[in-house]
Structure 1
Amino acid sequence: MPSKALLAARKAVAESFTGLPASFWWLWTATLINRLAALVGTFPAIYLTQGQGYSASFAGLVVSLYGGGAAAASVIGGALTDRIGRRPTVLVAQLATGVSIVALGLAEQQLLIAVLAFVVGVASFASRPAMAAMIADLVPKENRGKAYSLNFWAANIGFGVSAAAAGLLAEHGYLLIFAGESIATLICAALVFVKVPETKAAEPQGSAERKQSVGYGVVLKDRTFMCLIGLTFLVVVLFQQAATVLAGARYPLFTEAAAT
């Protein structure tokens, strides 16, 4: 017979997947597809230096612009989520990503590549605040912890698979990476449009005063939260070296080994 510890573990795992509404699981699936589509962000330095022959300094600039767009997207996406709604923000961001990512793959001029990298960064990350807000809207308070954990799990699974898929697609042409991300992103948008309803509640009467008192200024005054943001920034700077400096330095070693 299974031990008590094994039975308890099975029960804990089962409880992690119960008590969540069907609309959450559709949103979870959309998150998984969205992260599976994150192909271009995996090898930007390799694509620019090895695929297009640009310098490492230009590749670093483009990756910085992409990251800058992602940073701006968090602020823009959060504001749009509150103003126009959760689902409209997701749909606009995903459609913009599908179009701009193909344009980036076809671009050849340095200035155009740089501009489109920023646009893609904004578009591809603008939906994340809205999807996070939708989870809070859809899931009861007592189940939100496991809902966000499952959503984070989907994001990591998708990222892991997309990294491997991007490498395989790159062997047959970098344009396939851009086309693959565009198609998967549009599938994500279609899934949200069909299966996930708008979750933003109507503003109650007399809420104008409350809206004026809540904004980014309030967040910036929260010292504990801003300290966490600063530490997170340092971690991400270190983490991103794998996609910039380390990727550009290590890739030639693999190609030389394959040639021999």
Structure 2
Amino acid sequence: MDKVEVVVAHSQRATLRVGDTFLKIDSEPSNLDVEVEAMRLVPVPTPEVLWRKPQVLALAAVQGTALGRLGEPSTASPAAWAAAGAAVRTLHDAPLPPWTAPNVDAVAANLDRACEWLLSNDVLPADLVKRNREVAQAALRPWTPVFTHGDLQISHVFLDDDKVTGIIDWSEASRGDALFDLAILTLGHEEHLDELLAGYGTDVDVDVIRAWWSLRSLGAARWLIEHGFDPNSPGCEFDVLRARM
């Protein structure tokens, strides 16, 4: 009998694996609605939907292995990173989805609240927060919306023999900033950015990608801490912030 593996679990959602089937349980059914529709629309490989209940989604496992994991060195080849970049470019060139993401003003307001929380709770030194808030400012500019994944973590891209076999976890797909996706994919793996861009194309502003690294790391810290994750683990969000110093 296959064992039940808890892939991730917190108060909002949980993902379980039983054999070659993943069960996603979400407290907000609309997140699963977005995930199913996004996978139907995107022109890149995604998991097969096996069945759907109001708050549970069953997906088939994709072949291959993840591009890497946050906090661990990626052993994927330069060709694999380039293939991931090409897949992301294909996604960003696709017709826009119906959902929108927060605009620049909303992102800036959320960032200010995140910095205030980090300082008022003595989570990080003031100079570290200030420096990264300055770096993050470059991301707060108008952008041309594209079809974005919205949570394109390195562990969400699977490859086999340097070919993308599946991109998972689409519940945050929306019209967003292309450079946000590129930043999330290389968060904590800055040394692979050039390899990713070799497949994506180099018509990007790398300073904005760096800004999104800071913005994401500042903005995600409170949620991570309150849901039992440690952004201070080696190679994770707080190390990303320290690298900007």
Which TM class, normalised by the smaller chain length?
under 0.3
Calculate the TM-score normalised by the size of structure 1.
0.21
Structure exhibiting the larger radius of gyration computed from Cα positions = 1
Greater percentage in helix: 1
Greater percentage in strand: 2
